[in-house]
Amino acid sequence: MNQPLHKSINEENIEILVRKFYSEVLKDSTLAPFFIAILGEDIQNDKWEEHLLLLTEFWKFVALGYDEYKGNPLRPHLLINGLTRDAFKSWLTLFYHTVDTLYIPSTGEYFKQKSKDIAENFMRKLSL
């Protein structure tokens, strides 16, 4: 039985979103190689856990205004060889799908718009 969709955004469901999304990323033939090359195949390892915690803090910053996030989200992308517009499109498609499984449409739309803005900004800065 499916759980009810979240009507609002909070710390707990942001963490669920991040963990569910990246578990799906590892199954995606376009995206998985980028992440496996840097973080490994086992989402349970320390590198992945650090990444998941960082991205949870990032989305808490974006969605809730929390200030625990101290990273530079663009920087790691500058070091990845082979990133393409198609990779960003795949990322967005998978992210949207994950959002749709967790949030009611009006709430999920916030994440979709923010992720689209971020992806467009990254592609522009990466000259893609």
pLDDT tens sequence across 5-26: 999 999 999 999 999 999 999 9
82: number of Cβ within 10 Å: 8
2-6, 33-37, 85-89: which has the minimum mean pLDDT? 2-6
- 84 phi/psi in degrees, rounded to 5: -135, 165
What are the domain boundaries of the chain? Answer: 11-125
pLDDT of residue 2: 65
State the chain's mean pLDDT as an integer.
95
Instruction: Kindly report the pTM of this predicted structure.
Output: 0.93
**CATH-assigned architecture of domain 11-125:** Orthogonal Bundle (1.10)
In tens, the pLDDT along 55-87 reads 999 999 999 999 888 889 999 999 898 999 999
What is the reported pLDDT for 47?
A: 97
Q: What is the pLDDT of residues 82-107, one digit of tens each?
A: 999 999 999 999 999 999 999 999 99
Residue 68, pLDDT score: 85
* Residue pair 128/88 in contact by the 8 Å Cβ criterion: yes
Question: What pLDDT was estimated at residue 1?
Answer: 52
